[in-house]
Amino acid sequence: MSATVGVQLLQEYPELLVAVTVLVRAALAWQTQLTWQEYRTLHRLKRGVFPVVNRYAGTAILWVSNKGGRDDPEYVDTLDKPYREVVTDLRRGGGTLHLLNSLKRRPDTHGDPLSVAHLVWSHADGKQTEAYLFRNSDGTTDLYCHVETGVSDPLGHLTDRQKDGDARNVLGGVAFV
């Protein structure tokens, strides 16, 4: 990601970086306590608001991240089950519901172009694996993922390079039953 207004502000004002870091860590703790119903309500709100905000403030913060289709390097698999069941499987495999992220958008070739759910695995070295799901028109679910600096390091999260796909093999431990 290139330097944005948000990155420039965090770099110029260390006290702002500290405040954002504290708020993000509090929000991370809060989001782990969300029920599925609470998460779905908040994620639906994101799906309505983020694309509109992105149109006007997209350079300050990455509100919507455009992805490719099934040829995207972050694409992992198409699972023959509804996304809610995939979320359940991913949560059983150690993932937690994730709201502190950009909404993902892909071409509408296979169905809904906006991500319907996000999960995250935190790693001891400060990295995180983020998985996100798209609902397909045939009832299947497309699974994408990447590894990046965790959001608890806001500046690193916004500037460090990510690794596409399941680089930490968190999905290898998930039983898609």
The residues near 108 (Cβ < 8 Å, ≥ 6 apart) are: none
* Spatial CA neighbour of 140 closest among 161, 112, 159: 112
Q: What is the CA radius of gyration of the chain?
A: 16
Task: Tell me the C-alpha distance between 166 and 5, whole Å.
Answer: 30
Strands 96-97 and 127-135: unpaired
Looking at residue 97, its amino acid is L
Rounded to 10 deg, the angle between the 14-31 and 5-12 helix axes is 120
| Side-chain half-sphere CA neighbours of 112 within 13 A | 20
Here the tokens at position 11 are 């770099």
Instruction: For residues 59 and 67, give the distance between their C-alpha atoms in angstroms, rounded to a whole number.
Output: 17
- pLDDT tens digits, residue range 24-46? 999 989 999 999 999 999 999 99
pTM here is 0.90
Distance CA 9, CA 64 (A): 20
Residue 3, pLDDT > 60, answer: no
N-term to C-term CA, the chain:
36
Lookup: tokens for 66 = 């455009």
Q: Read off the tokens for 128.
A: 């995180």
Amino acid 167 reads A
Statement: residue 4 has pLDDT above 90: no
Q: Assess whether pLDDT exceeds 60 at residue 156.
A: yes
Length of the chain counted residue by residue: 177
Q: What is the pLDDT of residues 89-145, one digit of tens each?
A: 999 999 999 999 999 999 999 999 999 999 999 999 999 999 999 999 999 999 999
C-alpha–C-alpha distance, residues 142 and 80, integer Å: 9
- Kindly report, residue by residue over 47-102, the tens digit of the pLDDT: 999 999 988 876 667 789 999 999 999 999 999 999 999 999 999 999 999 999 99
